[in-house]
Structures are given as C-alpha cells and as structure tokens.
C-alpha cells in the first residue's frame, strides 16, 4: 500500500466510539478527555505513516495507544509523594507536611461555612486576622501580627508599606536569591522602594548604614541568610544596633527572618538560629518569616511587630492581594496552637518531629527497614545501613549536616539508576537519593507505613526489572 492508501485506512473517531472497549473507556473517563485521546492516537498513527514508520493500520493498536494517553491524562498532576531523601523541608516536595489536627481543621472549614470573617459574639463582620493574631503575639512577644500568602509576599508588603517612594538600605551581603525567583533586589523594585546597597559581600559596618542615611530613607532592611552562609572574614551589624540607629533617625527596621524558628533548636543538637522572638526582642519594627519552613505549618508569610506598623500593613491595598485563604488559615491557627504545648508540638508537627528524632532511634529504624528492603530486593542487591546526613532544606539551617542512618542499596550486577526511576515513576511516587552509585533511603522523612510501601515497591521493581 502506498502512503495515500494507508492514510485512507485510518479509523475515524466516530467509528472508534462504536467499539465495545471504547464504550467502556467512555464510562470511566470524561468525554472531552476520551475524544482528545482518540484524536491524538489517530494523529500519531498518521504521523507514523507519513514518516514511513507504520506500514499497516490496526484499529486495535490505535485504541491501545488512546488508552495509554487517556490513563496519562486522567492521572492527577498534584499528588502524594513518599520522600525518602531525608531533606525535611523539601521545597520541591511541598515543604512541611501538616499535623493530623491541622489537616482535620482544613477539611472542616473547606467542607462547609466557617467564621472566616464573622464575629460570633456580635453577629457582625469580623477580621480574618483574628484567627492567628493573638497566637502569633503570644509566641513571638510582638505587639501585633498578621499572616499573608507567603514570606515573599510578606517582604513585598512590608517594603511597599514602609518605603514606597523612599530609600531602603540593605547590606550587599544580604542581597540574596532564595529558591526559584525570590531576589531581594527584584522585590525591592516591585515594592516601589529605591534600594540603597551598602558595604561589601563579606563585610558591612554600622557606619556604612549611618553614612547612607538621608532624609529620603524609609527603611533599614536586614535579610537573614537562611539558605547560604558567608563564612570566613565576615561582619554584619547586629539587629539591635540597627534598631538603635533607626530609632535615632526615626527610620523603621525590618528583619526578614525567613525560616520561622519559634523555639530553641540548639537543645536538639541543631544549629542555634536567631529566632523570630529574638528579632522582636531586639526591637525590630517588623519581622517576617515563612509558615511552612521551621514553623511546620502551611505556606504562609508571618508578619509580626509594632502595633502601628502592622496596622498600616493591614490597611495597605496589597494586603488584600496577598491575603490568606480559609484552608491555610485553619492549618496555620491549629499549627500555632500546638506551640502552646511543646510536648505535643514535637510529637505532632511532622517537620519538628523529623528534625528532632534521636540518632539512636533513627539507627534502629534503619536496621529494621534494611531487613525489609533486603528481603524485597533479593540476592541481586547489596543492602546495608550506613551513616549519612539529613538536611533541614528549603532555606532553613543552611549548613546543618544532621547525622542520620540510611538504608543503602547497590546492585551486584548493574546500577541502581533504573531502580530509582521505577520508584519515581511508580504508584505511589517515591523520591530517593543516589550517591556514589548507591540508592539511599533515609528513615528520617519516612513513616513506618511509608517504609512498608517502599519495600513493596522495591519488590515489584526488582520483579519487573
């Protein structure tokens, strides 16, 4: 058959819809998706004919291809992942998992109506800020507080609210980029403030700030180095000194704390980060932080500080554009409530629980997990436990190597690249690390149930390999 004849044998969509197997697909899938899949499968076959790769048209093959395309289109794009990387606040994997009580609160307010902006006592309109303001004040010692969509929005609102049309002074050592596309210099431009850079990458002194102050100065900004460190010959000005300088000249001071540490982590062998509390205590006018880093809550931006300053930000037009939705507020309120009881906090907020698991517990978890993994993988794989490091990740505790014990898997005959791929593409999606040719599974970011799921997935992957 020549190409023209072959093209004439391509099935029509209507003809395919009459088939019994396609009728079954129509029952299981929305019609627009089914039609797209059939058209795409026919189109692919047409291309194949034109390129000489198809020399006979089989209707069954077209339907088979449409079935594959349909399965792909029907699969939810945003779905659960099992995180075996040991990176606790993994930005690409959604940062902090929520506590069970926070999840319950989200479900409750999502399902029905809620007190989002309703004051039960007066029966009148309320403010959505009330749900977290008292808690944030109590936990940070600040006079007032609000929460917005994320910390990038908090920084944008803070700078726009205090320094639009004015100058904002920031040290060159703090002109950072945090993840994807958050650059202080870009945010500054969008907020309408004129950025005045001072000092050098490694050193900025108080007199650098002093000599940059002009009648146009609207803000002194300090950005915490949450995802990098300048090490060696360095100097930055302590927040308390900036506050003192700001007070002398009537200029507010804004600290972007970032990671959102609300408790002393040094007790757990983690690096002692400056906390939101210490920034408030030092006298900053506003302090901002992420809700989903070390606070362990939902994506949100926390703004705490002086009463007048926060009132100004609440009334700013941008505040409406970056406001939180009810589901996030529910999760944030419940997460913050857990901070009132530290025992519950460390047991129930996954991010804090995972960061503070004792090393001995991780080691015994890894031993049991390794036995299950070895049984699943069989003789073709070498499985043992090994000391390694977990990370806080996601712009939090940048330099911290947190000791852990991983389950380490190597193929005796080939590589583990295919194994890693099968885990990633399987159901559920499992994300693991490969290091020096070995597949590493860190129990720190896994539940016991997830460890069992990984063992099952490995058994399947090895069988199908």
Site of interaction with ligand PLP (CB under 6 A): 150-152, 155, 178, 182, 223-224, 226, 256, 258-259, 290, 301, 395
Alpha carbon distance 216, 229 (integer Å): 31
Give the nearer residue to ligand PLP in terms of CB position, either 133 or 256.
256
Give the nearer residue to ligand PLP in terms of CB position, either 155 or 319.
155
CB of 95 to ligand PLP, least distance (A): 8
Residue nearest to ligand PLP (CB): 258
CB of 449 to ligand PLP, least distance (A): 29
- Dihedral over Cα of 361, 364, 370, 371: its sign: negative
Give the nearer residue to ligand PLP in terms of CB position, either 102 or 223.
223
- Whether residue 391 contacts residue 86, with contact meaning beta carbons closer than 8 Å, is answered with yes
CB of 344 to ligand PLP, least distance (A): 25
Alpha carbon distance 185, 194 (integer Å): 10
Element (H, E) at 416: none
Phi, psi of 319 (to 5 degrees): -60, -35
Cis peptide before 56 (omega within 30 of 0): no
CB of 223 to ligand PLP, least distance (A): 5
* Residue 272, both tokens: 């002692």
Give the nearer residue to ligand PLP in terms of CB position, either 301 or 443.
301
CB of 36 to ligand PLP, least distance (A): 35
Give the nearer residue to ligand PLP in terms of CB position, either 49 or 162.
162
CB of 69 to ligand PLP, least distance (A): 35
Give the nearer residue to ligand PLP in terms of CB position, either 305 or 443.
305
Give the nearer residue to ligand PLP in terms of CB position, either 192 or 398.
398
| Closest residue by Cα to residue 2 from 60, 50, 59 | 50
| Closest residue by Cα to residue 393 from 173, 85, 100, 175 | 85
Q: How far are the Cα atoms of 358, 374, 422, 438 from residue 460, in angstroms, in the given order?
A: 32, 13, 9, 19
CB of 256 to ligand PLP, least distance (A): 5
Give the nearer residue to ligand PLP in terms of CB position, either 223 or 279.
223
45 CB contacts (<8 Å, ≥6 apart)? Answer: 10, 54, 57, 61, 62, 65
Phi, psi of 15 (to 5 degrees): -65, -45
CB of 267 to ligand PLP, least distance (A): 22
DSSP string, 287-345: EEEESSSTT-SSS-EEEEE-HHHHHHHHHSHHHHHTBPPHHHHHHHHHHHHHTTSHHHH
CB of 174 to ligand PLP, least distance (A): 9
100 CB burial (10 A radius; 0-12, 13-18, 19+): exposed
Alpha carbon distance 446, 33 (integer Å): 35
Alpha carbon distance 172, 169 (integer Å): 10
Give the nearer residue to ligand PLP in terms of CB position, either 257 or 309.
257
Residue with tokens 């960061």: 355
Alpha carbon distance 337, 341 (integer Å): 8
């Amino acid at each position: 058959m020549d190409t023209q004849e072959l093209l004439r044998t391509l099935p029509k969509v209507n003809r395919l819809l009459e088939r019994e197997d396609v009728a079954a697909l129509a029952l299981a899938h929305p019609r627009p998706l089914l039609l797209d899949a059939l058209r795409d499968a026919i189109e692919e076959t047409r291309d194949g004919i034109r390129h000489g790769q198809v020399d006979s048209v089989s209707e069954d093959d077209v339907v088979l291809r449409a079935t594959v395309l349909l399965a792909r289109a029907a699969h939810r794009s945003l779905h659960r992942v099992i995180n075996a990387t040991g990176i606790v606040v993994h930005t690409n994997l959604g940062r902090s998992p929520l506590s069970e009580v926070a999840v319950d609160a989200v479900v409750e307010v999502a399902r029905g109506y809620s007190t989002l902006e309703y004051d039960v006592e007066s029966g009148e309109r309320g403010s959505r800020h009330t749900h977290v303001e008292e808690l944030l004040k109590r936990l940070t010692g600040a006079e007032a507080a609000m929460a917005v969509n994320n910390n990038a929005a908090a920084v944008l609102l803070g700078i726009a609210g205090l320094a639009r049309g004015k100058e904002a002074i920031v040290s060159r050592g703090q002109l950072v980029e945090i993840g994807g596309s958050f650059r202080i210099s870009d945010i500054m431009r969008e907020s309408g403030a004129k950025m005045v850079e001072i000092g050098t990458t490694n050193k900025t002194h108080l007199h650098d700030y002093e000599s940059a102050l002009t009648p146009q100065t609207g803000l002194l900004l300090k950005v915490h180095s949450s995802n990098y460190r300048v090490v060696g010959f360095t100097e930055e000005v302590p927040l308390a000194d900036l506050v003192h300088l700001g007070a002398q000249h009537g200029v507010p001071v804004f600290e972007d704390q970032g990671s959102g540490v609300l408790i002393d982590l040094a007790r757990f062998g983690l690096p002692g980060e400056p906390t939101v509390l210490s920034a408030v205590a030092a006298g900053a006018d506003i302090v901002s932080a992420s809700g989903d880093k070390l606070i362990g809550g939902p994506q949100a931006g926390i703004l705490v500080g002086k009463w007048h300053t926060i009132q100004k930000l609440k009334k700013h037009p941008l505040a409406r554009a970056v406001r939180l939705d009810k589901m996030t507020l529910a999760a944030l309120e419940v997460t913050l409530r857990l901070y009132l009881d530290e025992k519950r906090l460390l047991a129930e907020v996954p991010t804090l629980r995972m960061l503070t698991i004792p090393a001995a517990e991780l080691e015994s978890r890894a031993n049991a997990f390794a036995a299950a993994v070895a049984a699943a993988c069989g003789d073709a794989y070498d499985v043992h436990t090994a000391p390694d490091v977990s990370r806080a990740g996601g712009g939090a505790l940048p330099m911290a190597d947190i000791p852990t014990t991983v389950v380490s898997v190597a193929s005796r005959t080939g590589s583990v690249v295919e194994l890693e791929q099968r885990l990633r593409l399987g159901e559920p999606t499992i994300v693991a690390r490969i290091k020096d040719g070995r597949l590493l599974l860190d129990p720190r970011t896994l539940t016991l149930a997830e460890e069992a799921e990984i063992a099952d997935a490995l058994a399947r992957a090895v069988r199908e390999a």
